[in-house]
Homo-oligomer: A and B are copies of this chain.
Amino acid sequence: MVSMKDISSACGVSVATVSKALNNHEDIGAETKRRIREVAKQMGYFPNSAAKALKTNRTQNLGVLFEEDDHSGLTHDYFACVLDSLKSAAEEKGYDITFINSCRTRPGRMSFLEHCRYRGFDGVIIVCVNFLDPEVLELVNSDIPTVTIDHLFNNTCAIMSDNVKGMHDLLSYIYEMGHRRIAYIHGTESSVAQRRLASFYKTVAELGLDIPDEYILPAAYRDTKAAYAATEKLLDLKKRPTCILYPDDFACYGGINAISERGLRVPDDISVAGFDGIRIARHIEPKLTTLKQDTNLLGRRAAEKVISLIEQPKTTLIEQIVVEGEVYVGGSVKKI
């Protein structure tokens, strides 16, 4: 590895001058700068990030917390898409992405915060995690710039998909398509689930709908079996819904299976709608009508925000950034 020392000897200047020339300091002559840079380039010089980090306490490295109990994180289309755009946006700005070690079982493991300090992450993005975990709290309460995705702490920036507007728009669309008996199988155990459910009720009220209690059922996210079971319950009702909303697209397929097995067809006999807008749902018939979340923007905003917190801590607001999704009109909700 060619170091600054090598360049300094080659150029007949001191190491300090090389450093300053490469970092474009004011107090180095134009010609000297040019020469040093040329030699550096020609010798294939690249800085040593460890040395730089040691000296500056900056790593140009972002930690991403992405924990998956059931290994559903990385393979979860929504979060994978967010991570992907997060990665692109960070890389464009010269930051690298490192996963925060979420292995729980290693002897001598560090807590999330300890790991972040160990690696010297300039900032952290919490994408997919149990937000009640004490270690997560420790992390968000630290002085490390942090943004969360889809969860609101009172002292960190949050990038949120607009679940309230999303549910409102989706439900309104379904209403416009003529549906009045609309069931909602809602997700569980997260603030996102609560927000969507609240928005559902609010929109129901706005639209003047009368939704019986038995139309509202819980089912864990991405749990096709639970969605299947809940769907069966709905289909057993005397007054069946004409449209069923699901916690997410993946779970929706569980519901579609339940419907098909009764010999009913989507959307001719009953309509369904998902939530998320996963890619494959646009390639399988019937294409899912769903609320397509803007994962690209979510990831990008998260990266931009954390980098802004790092580079302009004074002028960056601790705020909640809301990213709107849009109704994707597939073919699973029929006009009646």
Interface residues of A (CB under 8 A from B): 1, 44, 46-51, 53-54, 59, 61, 68, 71, 73-75, 77, 80-81, 83-85, 87-88, 91-92, 94, 96-99, 101-103, 105-106, 110, 114, 117-120, 224, 250, 253-254, 256-257, 260, 279-280, 283-285
Contacts and interface: CB of A to CB of B under 8 A. Distances in A.
Given A253-B283, A283-B224, A74 B99 contact: no
Nearest to A103: B91
Contacts of A51: 50, 54
A80 B101 CA distance: 17
A47 B110 CA distance: 11
A119 B92 CA distance: 17
B117 A92 contact: no
B101 A96 contact: yes
Count chain B CB atoms within 10 A of each CB in A83, A98, A283 and give the residue with the most: A283
Contacts of A88: 71, 103
B75 A81 contact: yes
Given A68-B84, A74-B81, A92-B105, 12 more contacts: A48-B118, A50-B59, A50-B120, A74-B80, A74-B84, A87-B99, A88-B103, A91-B101, A91-B106, A96-B98, A224-B283, A253-B283
A49 B118 contact: yes
A33 to B, nearest CB: 15
A256 B91 CA distance: 38
Contacts of A253: 280, 283-284
B92 A103 contact: yes
A53 B279 CA distance: 41
A15 to B, nearest CB: 15
Contact of A98 (B47, B61, B73, B250): B61
B47 A50 contact: no
A87 B59 contact: no
